[in-house]
Amino acid sequence: MTTAALPVRPARPNGWWGMAVFVASEATLFGTLIGTYAYLGLHNAHWPPQHLAKPPVLTPTLLTAALLLTSIPMQLAWRAAREWRRASAWRLLALAFAVELGYLIWQLHDFVDLVHVYPPRGSAWSSVYLTLLGTDHAHVLAGLVLNAWFLVRISSRLTNYRLVGLRATTFYWHAVNTITAVVLAVQVSPYL
């Protein structure tokens, strides 16, 4: 009786593991912020405080839906790059970048308004709410910077090194979208 050798599955690249560790630390950060929000909410009779208007949810919901859809072109860009279809990967990455940029510009505009409506010194709710939103927006910005770098880098050529970086960035982007969906759930929670 002969036994067939099992195919050797190569390990994931170091860049991917580095991003996985980074995403785990970011998940911890957001878990702490959301835990703080929930803890304070359970220990206050009114959360958010009654003198504050409930936060808007329609625009953030629509924007988050658009942002979540960017996981599709990001994944397809990585797949195209893996198949050495550089031009297709670049176009898909550019599409994702354009939607992400539009999301961030609109959200930052609304965030500035929210800072005036809910001053961070006004209540614990305002403070943790704005910290959570601001931290999420900073992560979207980090993803945009990574995507912009890859738009520049793969416009000329595709290498194994850039492929690993794009894979890690795609993983990061899926994590950011997941975190943003959870942050949206926190934004909607006063209406539940």
d(CA 49, CA 79): 47
Could you give the 3-state DSSP secondary structure of residue 186? helix
Instruction: Report pLDDT for 53.
Output: 87
Domain ranges of the chain: 20-191
Range in 4-8, 10-14, 109-113 with the lowest mean pLDDT = 4-8
Burial per residue of 28-48, b for 16 or more beta-carbon CB atoms within 10 angstroms, e otherwise? eebeebbeebeeebeeeeebb
pLDDT grade for 7, boundaries at 50, 70 and 90:
low
Q: Read off the pLDDT of each residue in 32-56 and give the average, rounded to a whole number.
A: 90
pLDDT digits (tens, 9 = 90+) for 136-188: 999 999 999 999 999 999 999 999 989 999 999 999 999 999 999 999 999 99
Chain-centroid distance of CA 168 in Å reads 13
Instruction: Report pLDDT for 3.
Output: 54
Question: Tell me, what amino acid is at 33?
Answer: L
Q: Read off the pLDDT of each residue in 127-143 and give the average, rounded to a whole number.
A: 96
pLDDT exceeds cutoff 80 at 119: yes
Round the average pLDDT of the chain to a whole number and report it. 92
d(CA 96, CA 70): 5
- Highest CATH level, class, for 20-191: mainly alpha
Contact predicate 147/95, CB 8 Å: no
d(CA 163, CA 42): 46
Instruction: Report pLDDT for 81.
Output: 94
